[in-house]
């Protein structure tokens, strides 16, 4: 399993627009082939900072998503809202304790 973490910092006036955009497309993203989990987090000290965590079957599934028309459409709208350049990491999950 591959975990994709994306940190996004939005202009304060664009936080609500991002929320609406995510709400509109969250089920489409989660339903994309190979996506096993999608989570959205908001920083407790800086409400302009959000993180997405998505779990993918493998790197190929993530790459298929990143090449898809869905990604191009959603990311094209999202990046217009940023205050800072986004950061992204692909990591392997080692341990989960519940």
Q: Please give the backbone phi and psi of residue 61, each rounded to the nearest 5 degrees, phi first.
A: -65, -45
Contact by Cβ (8 Å): 58, 34:
yes
What's the rounded mean pLDDT across residues 24-33?
A: 98
Q: What domains are defined for the chain?
A: 2-92 (3.30.70.100)
Residue 6 pairs in a beta bridge with 52, 88
12 pLDDT band (50/70/90 cuts)? Answer: very high
What's the rounded mean pLDDT across residues 60-67?
A: 98
Helices 15-30 & 69-78 angle (0-180, nearest 10):
170
Residue 82 confidence (pLDDT): 98
What's the rounded mean pLDDT across residues 40-61?
A: 98
19 pLDDT band (50/70/90 cuts)? Answer: very high
Radius of gyration of the chain measured on its C-alpha atoms: 13
Q: Which residues, other chains included, contact 89 with Cβ-Cβ below 8 Å and sequence gap of 6+?
A: 4, 5, 6
pTM of the entire structure?
Answer: 0.94
């Amino acid at each position: 399993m591959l975990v994709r973490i994306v940190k996004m910092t939005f202009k304060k006036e664009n936080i609500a627009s991002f929320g609406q955009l995510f709400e509109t497309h969250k089920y489409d993203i989660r339903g994309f082939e190979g996506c096993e989990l999608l989570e959205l987090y908001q920083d407790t000290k800086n409400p302009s900072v959000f993180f997405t965590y998505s779990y993918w079957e493998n790197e190929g599934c993530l790459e298929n998503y990143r090449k898809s028309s869905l990604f191009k459409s959603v990311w094209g709208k999202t990046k217009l809202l940023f205050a800072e350049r986004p950061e992204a990491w692909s990591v392997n999950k080692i341990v989960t304790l519940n």
